[in-house]
Structure 1
Amino acid sequence: MARPGPLSAENLCRRCMPDWPDFETTDDLVDLPGGLGQARAEQALRFGLAIGQPGYHLFVLGEAGTGRHAVALRLLREFAERREVPPDLCYLNDFDNPHRPRLLKLPAGRGAALHAQMQTFIADLGPAIEAALEADTHRDRVDSLLQAHKSREEKALRELGEACSADGVSLLQTPEGFVFAPTANGEAMSPDAFEALPPAERAAIEGKVSAWSEKLADLLDDFPGWRTALRESVKRAARDALAPAVTHLIRPMRETYAELPEVLRFLDAVAQDVLENAAEQESLEDEDEAGEDGGQRFHRYQVKLLVDHSSTHGAPIVYEDNPVFGNLIGRVEFIAQMGVLITHFNLIRAGALHRACGGYLVVDADRLLTQPFAWEGLKRALRAREVRIEPPAEAQGWTNVQMLEPEPVPCDVKVILIGDRELFYLLTENDPDFPDLFKVAADFDDDMLRTDTLTLQYVRLLATLARASNLLPVNREGLARMVEEGARLAEDAGRLSLQTRHLADLLREADYHARQSGVPVVGAPQIDGAIAARARRFGRYSERVLESMLDGTTLISTDGTRCGQVNGLVIVEIAGEQFGHPVRITATARLGEGDVVDIERETELGGAIHSKGVLILSAFLAARYARHQPLSLAASLVFEQSYGPVEGDSASLAELCCLLSALAQVPIRQCFAVTGSVNQFGEVQAIGRVNEKIEGFFQLCRARGLTGEQGVLIPAASVKQLMLREEVVEAARAGRFHVFPVANVDEAITLLTGMEAGIPDAKGILPRESVNHRVAEALAVMTSAKHAADQSGGRKPRHRRREED
């Protein structure tokens, strides 16, 4: 088997050659009008926004930073411009049922006008009432009614007094009320005189007093009715006095809204209520009590403007960044008065669904799902196609307190949720309502193909991002470095990342370096400086890891050979930044029952995917070396000095080579590091973050001194992912560092040990001086030893039984 050679420097990074025509900097490029590389997502968005059937709400899924919000909002504005402005939404007091305010829809802008006119009406109503009720004609009429009432009462009492006086009984008025007393010679008789009368005469007088007392009681029973009639007369007089004033105040509004029957009915109800209640000012009750609720009485006539579209053009687009239940559905607020919480229809507050009625509502799905009751409230509104304002406790049936019950608002709204793919799949799997309500998925790609034509479009995208942040122009070389960084972010030299957030951040940071240096244009040095500065800001942990390797705290060898020991490569992610570093992997082999012990899994530090990788290499061993005999070994694999979770299968190639070395007792060259996963047939499979892994080992080798022997083995399938930093490429070009692609475990073990892996001949016989032969031989020895041990162990019980006999 021919040993694979190292990759050339040109294969380690696909450079972008800035030979674009007709421009020198981003100032010469026009903005990209739409998104780039998101044709599938845009098509889905257009479909979802255009279809008007129920349940066709949208979920925009993809990784953060891929322009999901920007593209969605751009298309929303495009669709919204072609739609009509929805009506204003108002709430009115229901005078017959105050705890159930009525909904009023008005053409856009007219809700604000009605609200303002009613505020003016209320401001003018108090003075108008005061003027009408203080007018001389009205006061004279009221005084006349009061005087007539007074005269009537006085006349009735006088006539009763005269009648009883003729019967020998006087009607007297005392502080305690009316009393009757016998008379003698026209004067009230004293108690002593009355007691001196004969019993028969006293009894006759007492009978008269009792009879007249009953007549007085009957008369006094009539007085409340007379007073009620008086109040009604006063109220009628007040209504007569106020009618012209109220008509005068309301007439302009009736003319303005003559074509809106709902408004006319409301104005009629207001006029009737004003006339019915204005007589309270003329009430015979305590004036202070009447004055206390006068202000509240006028609040009844306000128009609660819930949603105002006077400044809206087309359909509304509402982005709710804090989707708590009340912000979505709306709420009713309370105020404290005299230690008691009260509310009324003017304290109703609109939610995002109200503001988005007739348009579009955009919500971040992860924020929505972390708010109590918000997700269920949104689903309930979408199913019913109406928004019902109610507290969460009432919506869940947890309270029976009487609350305001505003009339529900019919709501034709298109909801756009934005989230990642994992959240979309979780909702689809676990919430049966979700697929019925959100039938359209707009899936944003993370990257795009890197062709010459698309690269030029990508450059225009970079120019658009730079101009959007008012950055310095970027020249050709700077744009070429940005294209290369886009390919590195995509982890594929043949693709370009669509993580516009990261690209925009890098352009902003490069702009900062350019301004600090006093240069008028951002070029490659500024882009490289921004990349290096970012690595430095997030590099504290990686520097500490490197220092621990250099001072011997963490044991990593980069020279010499060792059986059962290899340098693997791992990735650490901190705050969104990834870096790679080597880790020592060791293996031991001994006589056993065919078990390969993954110490990481046994200590519960290994994840499921890592454990799967170890099981696969166990299957490989059995399939290749123990097809006709049992696998009689016990092996252990471990990541040395690893004290945290280990996940992924990208170290399975290194683990397999390490185990083969331990079995064959063939040492592995420590100047190499290995990354890659293997399948049951020994084929090496692609892995992720290959650039960071190579660079992590390179930094250690460079710090200790490059010898020209050091290098990294990677899957051949990962070569297309290579976009290594310039320092690694230059070292490879100078022959001081190498990157080897391997397609299978035989190629890898050959490079690592310097010994041929060994391919069986036509008879299935392996070359003696090969790794595979030594492994097979070692396993055969173990099998023989195991068989002998079993045979020996099998005779002992028989021997003991004979001894017992």
Structure 2
Amino acid sequence: MNSFESLPPQALRWQCDADAFDFDTSDQLDALEDIIGQERAVEAIEFGIGIEGSGYNLFALGPMGTGKHEIVRHFLKQTAHQKPSPPDLCYVQNFEKERQPCKLLMPAGRGMELSEDMENLIEDLKGAIPAAFESEDYQSRHNAINQEFRQKQQEALTQLEEVAESRDIQLLRTPEGIGFAPVVDGEVIPPDQSDQLTEEQRERAEEAVEELEEMFRKELQSAPRWERERREKLKELREEVAKTVVEAPIGELCDKYAELDEVVDYLGDVKEDIVDHAEYFVLAKRAEHARMVSLAPDGEAGALGAAPEQSQGEDESAQAKKISFRRYMVNVLVDNSQVDGAPVIYEDDPTLDRLLGQIEHLAQYGALVTDFNLIQPGALHRANGGYLIIDARKLLMNPLSYEQLKRALFSEQIHIESAKQVMGMARTVTLDPEPIDLSVKVILLGERELYYKLDQMDHEFGELFKVAADFNEAMPREGNLQSYAKLVAAFSRENDCAPLDPPAMAQVLERAARLAGDRDKLSTHSESIRDLVREANYWAEQNGHEVIGCDDVQQAIDAQERRAGRVKERLEEQIERETLLIDTEGSVVGQVNGLSVLSIGRFAFGRPHRITASARLGKGELVDIERESELGGPIHSKGVLILGGFLGSRFGKKMPLSLTASLVFEQTYGGIDGDSASLAETCALLSELSDAPLRQDLALTGSINQQGRVQAIGGVNEKIEGFFDICKQRGLTGDQGAIIPASNVKHLMLREEVVNAVSEGQFHIYAVRSVDEAMQLLTGVEAGERDDEGDYPQETINARVARTLEGFARRVRRFHRPDED
């Protein structure tokens, strides 16, 4: 094939043969058993799941839509099913340190069982304990203890009265307390009549009163001891009665959970606390009785026996407010009764609270209060003993979540802390739950750029995420057509879509090759293929088709492009109305049509740019106007510098380059990056220096190296189609076309419309390997090769460029040294 022949139609697009599929509709295809196109990632996932050890967590990296989440979850579920279910996670009251609730680990399903048992126990004791304290036995023993105390008081007073009587003194009981008065001739002498006594009588009476008051003070000093003894006896009585009531039901629970030592110890603590606070059960019953009395008609509410001794200085209503039986409940943080094997949890909102759990508060009597029942689990709790999947970008977008996740993985413990506590800003008293041991494998999902940045900037990241599962964007086409067809059929079934016929399946596979940007590969961006199947099914329904056909698939593709094509159509309109200047006929010196790709969201399209070059006397400078105006990116600037290297290498070996050249993308007002325009910029500059007009009915793309070789670029299909659409708008002449790097031919997957135009000779695609080939196509003039003396054949492009540069050098030399003229 002549190097300047346009590419044949068969080189422009891979055509999938529908006859290669041995089915009438895709629902006849078997289910796909293996995951295709991601062998490396699958191996890494299997390794990461299977290996035990600290830090062997996974990071699944690759573009969104490649099925990372589905594939990871698929393997996790397979593995999780073979592992034992983790224990239930519970928190219970710490009766010694109430701010530090105790964890309780129980076999899966036993946590809720214990919780229900404790609720039933407390409900039973709410009736049994008050009934015991209302019994005749308790009341008689209670009254006996009180009577004993009163008897001691009475005996002390009787003894005091007898002594007073022997000393002619009367003991008086008054509202203010105990008093003494002298007795004369059997009559009590009041204090206001003491002047009736003789001096001797008065002195004897005062002496007797002093002795009696001393005796009374001694008796008073014994009263607190007697009161303590009374309270101790009453407390022992209450404990004895409470133990009698509690012993049997708690003993039954201890027998039921005998194999769980932690539960038995907890039940023992519960028993002691109930015995110590038995009066709360009576006060609760009295409070409930009082409420019923207030609601019931007069005379219908029954009486309730006396409560046990109350706390000193506190009335019954105040104590009733303190009564809470929540302290005996079991907070089942994670119930694994329904989990078959190890849990697989995906946390889609990894805030600190949702990741590590939180402690909620209730408003009560004007204050915020909390207890262990308000501890809420996080994703780490639910995934403990299994696997946790998190989107890496979402994790990093939530303050503190990433650092606290690392802390948990390093310490292998879950500490429940609020954001304020983590930042050291908390000033209020709250709970400090006992940490829970952590055994979990974390899988982060994210883009490659995110993985590499974390690995580079966080030295701890590599210690915790030692396994990278790298997902491919594309897979080889050869040998995978049938498997890919099964994958498409699976997408159809999963989404309740109509089956595809063979031509439609072929169309989908061709689209997969286009998305891969390579005719020899198929895209693994499963979400795009799934969307295409769903949308093709929609159009099939609209068209009344029971089976998705080729036209339905093409309609779906066209509709996708139509929905996203507003900007593309607007630019094409501006070119058509000559607001943006693009020529598609004629020839111009120093002007060429370059091609670029614009990406708007997920939609990419090509558009032509007018690139111009100018040259003048100078010092060998190459001015990139885009860079000087700060609109050019670093890769574009690199391409221009490579252009300067090529120019110097080819034409600056015999003489210095005495020119200043300017390059610019005309009518661009935004940023430009990439080196795919360096071929077009080189041709524009060579045209300017050789005074050779360039064809405007051709557009070109490609990067170059310093030897003038043309290199591959990206977006070749979109670029060609962008120029084709402009030419089609203005009318195809049969001379128009595009020039691309020869190394990009394997990437061609052009629209059928473009391929048909090439077949009809209305449009042409040329593949070039060097700048010289591109210049010969654009000018129709031989580029020329050096002879043995380093000179180019006369009237070739390179000879004309060299002659121009030699003229620049002479004029610069004469300008600086006029005496040598």
- Fold similarity call, TM over 0.5: yes
Q: Which amino acid in 2 is paired with 1:340?
A: A
Change (3 A) 1:234 1:766: same
Pairing 1:135-146 to 2, within 5 Å after superposition: 135-146=135-146
The correspondence of residues 43-54 of structure 1 with structure 2, limited to 5 A, is 43-54=43-54
For residues 220 and 463 of structure 1, do their structure 2 counterparts lie closer, same or farther at Cα, with a shift above 3 Å needed? same
Of 679, 682, 701 in structure 1, the residue corresponding to residue 708 of structure 2 is 682
The answer on whether the counterparts of 1:616 and 1:679 sit within 8 Å (CA) in structure 2 is yes
Distance 1:786 1:261, change over 3 A: same
**Counterpart amino acid of residue 164 in structure 2:** C
Of 317, 332, 340, the match for 2:359: 332
1:318 maps to what in 2? 345
Tell me the CA shift for residue 794 of structure 1.
11
Describe the superposition over 1:337-390 as per-residue Cα deviations: whole angstroms up to 9, x where unpaired.
222222211111111111111111111111111111111111111111121222
For 1:607 and 1:187, the matched residues in 2 are separated by: 122
1:308 aligns with 2:335: yes
The one-letter code sitting in structure 1 at the alignment partner of 2:415 is: R
Counterpart residue number, 2:323: 294
Q: Is the CA contact (8 Å cut-off) linking 1:16 and 1:484 kept in structure 2? A: yes
- How far is the alpha carbon of 1:113 from its aligned partner? 0.9
Partner in structure 1 of residue 285 of structure 2:
none
Any residues of structure 2 matched to 1:46-125 within 5 Å, and which? 46-125=46-125
Give, in angstroms, the shift of residue 249 of structure 1: 1.7
Kept after mapping to 2: 8 A contact 1:663/1:775: yes
Aligned partner of 1:790 in structure 2 is 816
CA contact (8 A) 1:664 1:775 kept: yes
Aligned match of 1:536: 562
- Which residue in 2 is equivalent to 1:343? 370
The range that moved more, 240-249 or 39-48, is: 240-249
Query: Which residue is 2:750 aligned to?
Result: 724
- Work out the CA distance in 2 between the residues paired with 1:262 and 1:188: 73
| CA distance in structure 2 between the aligned counterparts of 1:225 and 1:314, rounded to whole angstroms | 63
Alignment deviations for residues 223-264 of structure 1 (CA, whole Å, 9 cap, x no partner): 233223222222222222222321222132122111222111
Kept in 2: contact 1:235–1:279 (CA 8 A): no
Structure 2 counterparts to residues 725-744 of structure 1, below 5 A:
725-744=751-770
Find the counterpart in structure 1 of residue 739 from structure 2.
713
Number of aligned residues: 792
- Which of 469, 475, 479 aligns to 1:442? It is 469
1:144-155 matches, cutoff 5 A: 144-155=144-155
Aligned partner of 1:356 among 383, 390, 398: 383
Alignment match, 2:644 = 618
Corresponding residue number in structure 2 for 1:798 = none
The aligned counterpart of 2:410 is 383
Deviations 1:494-534 (A, max 9, x none): 00000000000011001000001111010110011001111
SS for the counterpart of 2:734 is coil
8 Å CA contact 2:590, 2:684 repeated in 1:
yes
Partner of 2:229: 229
CA distance in 2, matches of 1:533, 1:665: 46
Paired letter, 1:691: N
- Out of 800, 807, 813, the residue aligned to residue 781 of structure 1 is 807
Greater displacement, 782-791 / 305-314 = 782-791
* Secondary structure, aligned partner of 1:91: strand
**Post-superposition offset of 1:205:** 4.5
Residue range with higher mean Cα deviation, 625-634 or 159-168:
159-168
| Residue pair 1:80, 1:316 contacting (<8 A) in 2 also | yes
Q: Which amino acid aligns with 2:456?
A: E
Distance 1:190 1:437, change over 3 A: same
Do the aligned partners of residues 20 and 217 (structure 1) sit closer, same or farther apart at CA in structure 2, a change above 3 Å counting? farther
Contact 1:234 1:279 in 2 (8 A): no
Structure 1 residue 396, shift from structure 2 partner: 4.3
Distance in 1 of aligned mates of 2:251 and 2:819 = 114
Show CA shifts across 1:612-648 (max 9, x none). Answer: 1111101111111111221111111111111111111
Q: Which residue of 1 aligns with 2:537?
A: 511
Q: Do the aligned residues in 2 keep the contact of 1:514 with 1:521 (CA within 8 Å)?
A: yes
Letter in 1 for 2:484: Y
Change in CA separation of 1:291 and 1:788 when aligned onto 2, cut-off 3 Å: same
Q: 1:760 to 1:163 in 2, by over 3 A?
A: same
CA distance in 1, matches of 2:818, 2:154: 135
Report the more deviating stretch, 282-291 or 442-451: 282-291
1:157 aligns with 2:183: no
Give 1:245's aligned residue.
245
In the alignment, which residue of structure 1 is the partner of 2:458? 431
Kindly indicate whether residue 766 of structure 2 is the aligned counterpart of residue 755 of structure 1.
no
- TM-aligned CA deviation for residue 750 of structure 1: 1.1
| CA distance in 2: counterparts of 1:618 and 1:230, whole angstroms | 107
Listed one character per residue, the Cα deviations across residues 645-689 of structure 1 (whole Å, up to 9, x for unaligned) are 111111111111111111222111111111111111111111111
1:184-223 superposed matches below 5 A = 184-186=184-186, 188-194=188-194, 205-206=205-206, 208-223=208-223
Q: Structure 1 residues 531 and 200, CA, compared in 2 at 3 Å: closer, same or farther?
A: farther
Q: 1:711 & 1:494 partners in 2: Cα distance?
A: 24
- Is residue 569–residue 675 contact of structure 1 (8 Å, CA) maintained in 2? yes
Distance 2:338 2:664 in 1: 67
| Counterpart secondary structure, 1:43 | helix
Percentage of pairs with the same residue: 45
- More moved, 415-424 vs 148-157: 148-157
1:319·1:361 contact (CA, 8 Å) conserved in 2? yes
- Do the aligned partners of residues 470 and 193 (structure 1) sit closer, same or farther apart at CA in structure 2, a change above 3 Å counting? same
Structure-1 residue corresponding to 2:577: 551
- Describe the SS at the equivalent of 2:15: coil
Match of 1:799 in 2: none
SS of the equivalent of 2:270 reads helix
**1:575 lines up with 2:601 in the alignment:** yes
Q: In the aligned structure 2, how far is the partner of 1:12 from the partner of 1:2? A: 17
SS, match of residue 19 in structure 1: helix
Q: TM-score, normalised by structure 1?
A: 0.95
* In the alignment, structure 1 residue 606 sits paired with structure 2 residue 638: no
**1:147 and 1:710, CA in 2 relative to 1: closer, same or farther beyond 3 A?**
same
Assess if the C-alpha contact under 8 Å between 2:21 and 2:482 holds in 1: no
Report if aligned partners of 1:129, 1:242 keep a CA contact under 8 Å in 2: yes
Give the CA deviation at 1:172: 3.5
Superposed CA deviations along residues 527-547 of structure 1, whole A, max 9, x for unmatched, are 110011111111111111111
How many angstroms apart in 2 are the aligned matches of 1:217 and 1:471?
A: 100
Which residue is 2:291 aligned to?
none
Alignment partners' CA distance in 2, 1:101 and 1:718? 67
Contact between 2:279 and 2:310, CA under 8 Å: does it hold in 1?
no
In structure 1, the partner of 2:302 is none
1:474 to 500, 507, 511: 500
Q: Which residue of 2 aligns with 1:133?
A: 133
Instruction: Give the equivalent residue in structure 2 for 1:636.
Output: 662
CA distance in 2, matches of 1:103, 1:192: 74
RMSD, aligned α-carbons: 2.0
3-state DSSP of counterpart to 1:587: strand
Residue pair 1:428, 1:434 contacting (<8 A) in 2 also: yes
Contact 1:325 1:371 (8 Å CA) reproduced: yes
User: What is the CA distance between 1:183 and its match in structure 2?
Assistant: 4.7
Q: CA deviation at 1:124?
A: 1.6
Q: Give the Å deviation of 1:567.
A: 1.1
Report if aligned partners of 1:34, 1:71 keep a CA contact under 8 Å in 2: no
Q: Distance in 2 between matches of 1:683 and 1:794?
A: 40
Q: In structure 2, what is the Cα distance between the partners aligned to 1:732 and 1:269?
A: 88
Secondary structure (helix, strand or coil) at the match of 2:19 reads coil
Q: Give the C-alpha shift of residue 481 in structure 1.
A: 0.4
Distance in 2 (alpha carbons) for counterparts of 1:595 and 1:458: 54
Q: Which runs of 5+ in 1 are unaligned?
A: 796-805
Residue 3 of structure 1 contacts residue 751 of structure 1 at CA under 8 Å; is this kept in 2?
Answer: no
AA matched with 1:507: V
CA contact (8 A) 2:814 2:820 kept: no
Give unmatched runs, 5+ long, in structure 2: 283-307
